[in-house]
Amino acid sequence: MSAKGQKLLEEALTLPADERADLAATLIESIEEAEDEGVEEAWAEEIGRRIQEVESGAVKTIPWSEARLRILALRDARKRP
């Protein structure tokens, strides 16, 4: 990181958490490529489909604590040779 970037980072880290979050989001948005056509619509459809699956009982939800344990176990299993 350049000296200018380091100085900006140090100043940004003195901001309250909500301002740092806003700044981080703005910086990320500034480097992301333009969204693909139809992405928002496709996500809205996917979210709607998943909500319907949960509400109809087609899928079973699990608590975050259990999901996290499963994710970490899968990650750890992949690290083993």
Assess whether 44 and 25 both reside in one domain: no
Is the pLDDT at 81 greater than 80, yes or no?
Answer: no
Task: Give the pair of three-digit tokens for residue 27.
Answer: 């910086």
Assess whether 47 and 23 both reside in one domain: no
Q: How many separate domains does the chain show?
A: 2
Assess whether 20 and 43 both reside in one domain: no
Is the pLDDT at 34 greater than 80, yes or no?
Answer: no
Is the pLDDT at 28 greater than 90, yes or no?
Answer: no
Work out the percent of the chain whose per-residue pLDDT is above 90.
75
Q: To 10 degrees, the CA torsion angle through 18, 19, 23, 28?
A: 0
Task: Give the DSSP letter of residue 33.
Answer: P
Domain interval for residue 65: 39-79
Quote the distance between the C-alpha of residue 33 and its chain's center: 17
Assess whether 21 and 46 both reside in one domain: no
pTM above 0.75, yes or no: no
